[in-house]
Amino acid sequence: MPLFTNKIFTMIDAPWWKDAVVYQIYPASFKDSNNDGLGDIQGIISKLNYLQSLGVNTMWVCPMYASPQVDMGYDISDYKDVYPPYGTVADMEDLLRQAHSRRMKVLLDLVINHTSDQHAWFKESRSSKTNPKRDWYIWKPAKFDKHGNLQAPNNWRANFGGSVWEWDELTQEYYLHLFAIEQPDLNWENEATRQAVYKDAMIFWLDKGVDGFRIDTVNMYSKPSHYPDAEITDLNAFLQEAAPVYVNGPRMDEYLMEMNEILKRYNAVSIGECPQTPDMERVRRYVNAQEKQLDMVFQFDISDVGIDKVHKFRSKPHNHKLTDMKSAIARTQSLISPTSDSWTTAFMENHDQGRSISRFGNDTTPELSIRSGKMLALFNTCHSGTLFIYQGQELGCVNLPMSYPIEDYQDLDSLNYYNLVKERSHGDKAQLAEAMSAIQYLARDHARTPMQWEPTLPHGGFTGEVVKPWMKLNPFTIIINAEQQIDDPHSVMSFWKKILQLRQKHKELFVHGVFELVDVDNENVFSFLKHSKNKKALVVCNFSDGESKLPFFGSGDLLISNVDGSKEDTLEAWEGRVYLFN
CA distance 364 to 399: 11
**Three-state secondary structure readout of 93-159:** HHHHHHHHHCCCEEEEEECCCECCCCCHHHHHHCCCCCCCCHHHECEECCEECCCCCEECCCCEECC
Q: Please, which residues have CB within 8 angstroms of residue 491's CB and are 6 or more apart in sequence?
A: 370, 484, 485
- What CA–CA distance (Å, rounded) separates 478 from 475? 7
Question: What is the rounded CA–CA span in Å between residue 525 and residue 571?
Answer: 9
From 71, 216, 363, 575, the catalytic residue: 216
* 216 given a catalytic annotation: yes
What's the one-letter identity of residue 293? Q
Active site residue 273: yes
Q: Are 541 and 576 in contact (CB under 8 A)?
A: yes
Whether omega before 458 lies within 30 degrees of 0, making that bond cis, reads: yes
In angstroms, the CA 89 to CA 69 distance is 18
Distance CA 201, CA 360 (A): 36
Residue-level length of the chain:
582
Q: Cβ neighbours of residue 225 under 8 Å, at least 6 residues apart?
A: 250
Q: What is the CA radius of gyration of the chain?
A: 24
| CA–CA dist 72, 411 (Å, integer) | 8
Q: Out of 75, 273, 295, 352, which one is annotated catalytic?
A: 273
Amino acid at 507: K
Distances (CA, A) of 420 to 258, 414, 426, 427, 433: 41, 10, 10, 10, 13
How far, in Å, CA of 36 to CA of 472, rounded? 14
Terminal-to-terminal C-alpha distance of the chain: 19
**Active-site amino acid positions:** 216, 273
